[in-house]
Homo-oligomer: A and B are copies of this chain.
Amino acid sequence: MKTRVGILGYGNLGRGVECAVSKTSDMELVAVFTRRDPESVKIVSDGVKVDNVANIEEYKDKIDVLIICGGSATDLPKQTPVYAKMFNVIDSFDTHARIPEHFANVDAAAKEGGHIGIISVGWDPGMFSLQRAYANAILPNGKDYTFWGRGVSQGHSDAIRRIPGVKDAKQYTVPVPAALEKVRNGENPELTTREKHTRECYVVLEDGADAEAVRQAIVTMPNYFADYDTTVNFISEEELKANHSGIPHGGQVIRTGSTGWNNENKHVIEYSLKLDSNPEFTSSVLIAYARAAVKLSAEGQTGCKTVFDIAPKYLMDISEADMRAHLL
């Protein structure tokens, strides 16, 4: 029998999950839940129900795992604990500083409901976190570096769009090549924020807007841009559409460390992602962990889990013997 999947929220991430589920042989999509009028939400899959989230409890016995595709700022802190009482759930909560609090809330709810809740699944947090954990376990005497990009930061693009005079914008986070090289060479540099990443902005102005004022507003914006070397490029709406409509991302997790009685031997562990579509890749990670949630639940486990708690064997739909024979 296939694992029955529900999706809550039909933005970029929900759409990615829909597509990824359709390509598995062990999962089927049962329903997409939305806060909007279900009639207004057109999904790709045939024969799959779109329902208002208000009716979600009716699906308690029709869904094995609910993939929650909301935002981390306001949606997930509320949604994941609520739905962990009814379903096995997965989310991609990515506000690093608030993970302990979110974990505690989801843990209590999932245990109350007798379900599994896996939080902070994706690539960072998620795959990058795994790499940090494995690399720290292996090379305790070392130093971690995480670089993001070249890729689109949705938060920074939104921040630019809120500036008066800006019609549309896209912001790329870009690692500084010299910093990357120092790290890869095992030089263990201390890097400031400015030394690690630059920010590249592509901005479409409203008619008559003051370009220099917009540029100043961007490069001096606290938290978002002030601590970075930021380049602002003004382009036409057509150019933005033609060259900047994708949502690529990626990055590197690097740990450099040493072994030997006198720390004489250096080692570099590097994990790198180059992604054409950030939401589709995140979706792919989400459904691998959705598979794990159902297996853990079938074993009688409950409560909140993260990628650190889950053995790799739970993520695949091939047997453990096949994994040993073909992947080990």
Contact = CB atoms under 8 A, between A and B. Distances in A.
Interface of A: 16, 19-20, 23-24, 44, 96, 99-100, 103, 120, 125, 127, 129-134, 136-141, 184, 259-261, 264-277, 280-281, 283-285, 288, 306-313, 315-316, 320-321, 323-325, 327-328
Contacts of A129: 327-328
Given A134-B130, A309-B311, A270 B271 contact: yes
A328 B125 contact: yes
Contacts of A327: 129, 132-133, 136, 308
A314 B130 CA distance: 12
Contacts of A139: 284
A266 B120 CA distance: 23
B309 A280 contact: no
A137 B266 contact: no
A276 B265 contact: yes
Contacts of A127: 134, 138
A150 to B, nearest CB: 13
A44 B272 contact: no
Contacts of A267: 273-277, 281
Contact of A23 (B136, B141, B276, B288): B141
B269 A270 contact: no
21 contacts: A20-B259, A96-B328, A99-B325, A100-B324, A120-B328, A127-B134, A133-B315, A133-B316, A136-B316, A137-B315, A138-B288, A139-B284, A259-B280, A265-B277, A267-B281, A271-B272, A306-B328, A307-B328, A308-B327, A308-B328, A309-B313
Contacts of A264: 276
Contacts of A265: 275-277, 280
Contacts of A99: 324-325, 328
Contacts of A272: 268-272
A103 B321 CA distance: 10
Contacts of A131: 271
Contacts of A324: 99-100, 103, 306, 308
Contact of A16 (B100, B259, B281, B328): B259
Contacts of A130: 134, 312
B308 A308 contact: no
Nearest to A97: B325
A141 B275 CA distance: 14
Nearest to A313: B308
A311 B96 CA distance: 21
A269 B259 contact: no
Contacts of A23: 140-141
Given A19-B261, A129-B327, 19 more contacts: A99-B324, A127-B138, A129-B328, A133-B315, A133-B327, A136-B316, A137-B288, A137-B315, A259-B277, A259-B281, A259-B283, A267-B276, A268-B272, A268-B274, A268-B275, A271-B272, A308-B324, A309-B313, A311-B311
